[in-house]
Amino acid sequence: MSRGEITQGAYEDIREEYVKDNYDTMQILDDEDVVVLEIDTSDERLSWDHTTGDNPMRLVAVITGSDEEISLPQTVSKSVIKKTGTDLAVSERSTTEFTFQEEEDELTIRHKLEFPELE
């Protein structure tokens, strides 16, 4: 019995449809792993930043000290991408601690999600 391989089109569909629709929530955590804020791609502060077919895919958040979830001063040190509606962490990224001191302070967080290439 021969084995069927996933096609390139199906592979791209998984990345561009399933991943984008299901892995679209980012949590920003403080230095004690307490969630400071959680946003998804319906929020203008979080968006996919890549061209269809690109690998890796990039999810980018732009957070400012004036965001209502931020209590100044607020230190953050980690971000997590989660599967929508679950506690499944798809990607975790620890960063140098960043402290929002003023409303004008801005932090950009980029997560790269890389998928193995088909041969």
**Res 38 pLDDT > 80:** yes
The mean pLDDT of 80-98, rounded to a whole number, is 90
Higher pLDDT, 114 or 28: 28
**pTM for the full predicted model:** 0.84
- What is the share, in percent, of the chain residues with pLDDT greater than 90? 53
> Rounded to whole angstroms, how far apart are CA atoms 43 and 22?
15
53: left (phi over 0), alpha (psi -120 to 50) or beta: left
Segment 63-88, tens digit of pLDDT = 999 999 999 999 999 999 999 888 89
